[in-house]
Amino acid sequence: MASTPSPSSYIATGGAFERDASYVSDRITKDARRPEHGPVDGDLWPVEPGRYRLIAAAACPWANRTLIVRKLLGLEDVISVGMPGPVHDSRSWSFHLDPDGRDPVLGIERLQDAYFRRFPGYPRGITVPAVVEESTGLLVTNDFPWITHDLFHEWQEFHRPDAPDLWPAELRAEMDEVMERIYTEVNNGVYRCGFAGTQEAYDAAYDRLFTALDWLEERLTDRRYLMGERITEADVRLFTTLARFDAVYHGHFKCNRQKLTEMPVLWAYARDLFQTPGFGETIDFDQIKAHYYVVHSDINPSGIVPKGPDPEAWLTQHGRG
C-alpha cells in the first residue's frame, strides 16, 4: 500500500484502477545466495539476526502479512519491528505514535528518510512493508510478496522449533495458482472497486471480486484452510483482506453485495484464523479504519471514521475445528 497521494492518481485510462507494482527487488537470503524463486534484479543481502528492522504499519494489509508471518515463525527476537501510525500525508508514512514522533531504533520521523538515504529523490510511493538496515538506515527492500516468502525459506535456522510449514513443497504449484488468484481478484480486487473512476470499471471490478469470493466460499466448504488441514502462506494472504472487509471495504470501497459476516463459510474461516495465535493480535481495527477513512479523502472527504462494526464478533465460536 503506497503512501497515498490520492486515489485518483491510481486511476488508469478508462477509469480502471491499476496498481504500481514496481518495487525495490533486493532480497535477503542465507549467505546472500541467489534464491531459487522470485526476482533477483536487485542486490542480495545476507541473513543476519539483529541487522534488519521490519517497518510494517498495522493499518496496511500488505504489511499485516509480514507481522503475521514474523509471529508464526517466531522471529520476533531476530528481526525488530517498527510501526508507523495509520494516518500519513502525501510524503510518507510517519512514526507519529512513537515518543517524539520518531522510530526508536532508526531515529527517523518518516519512512521516506530510509528510502531517500538509499535512493535520493526516490520517485515512487513510499510503501510498507519495508525492511531497513538498522546500522545504516538504508532501505533494503519493499517487495512485499518476497519479504514473507524469504522469512520462511531463508531464515529457517532461526525459526521456532514448532513453526508451521507455510510453503509445503508438495503443494507449491497449486498454492502459487491459488495465491495469484487471491492477489489479483481479492487483495487487489477490493481496491479495483474502491478506486474505480467510472461506473463501468466499478461494475466489472465488483463482479470479479464476488466471483472470486464465491469460489473461496466453495473451496473452503470441505477443507479447514485453503490448502487443506494446515495453515499456509495462502491463508495469511487472504486473511488480511477478510479482516478489513466489513470495517472498510464493504462500505468505503463499495464492495457491498454482502458483508463478510453474511458469507457463512468465509466468516467462520476468518474467525478461525483470527483466533489462531499470530493472527488476531496483529489486527488493530481502530488504526485500519483511521487509515482508510482519513487518508482516502477523495472517497471520504468528510474524514469521518465509522464507529462499527463491533470487533467482539471476531471472538465468537467458528465451528471449524
Active site residues: 60, 191
The terminus-to-terminus CA distance of the chain in angstroms comes to 33
Residue type, 18: E
Contact in structure between 287 and 86 (CB atoms under 8 Å): yes
Backbone angles phi, psi at 114, to 5 degrees: -70, -35
DSSP class of residue 79? S
Backbone angles phi, psi at 82, to 5 degrees: -120, 140
Neighbours of 208 (CB within 10 A): 17
Torsion 107-113-114-117 (CA) sign: negative
Residue 93 assigned as binding residue: yes
Residue with cell 491463508: 235
Residue 17 DSSP SS3: strand
Whole-angstrom CA distances from 49 to 75, 80, 114, 137, 213 are 9, 9, 20, 16, 39
Within 232-317, where are the H helices?
233-244, 264-274, 285-290
List the binding residues: 93
List the binding residues for glutathione: 93
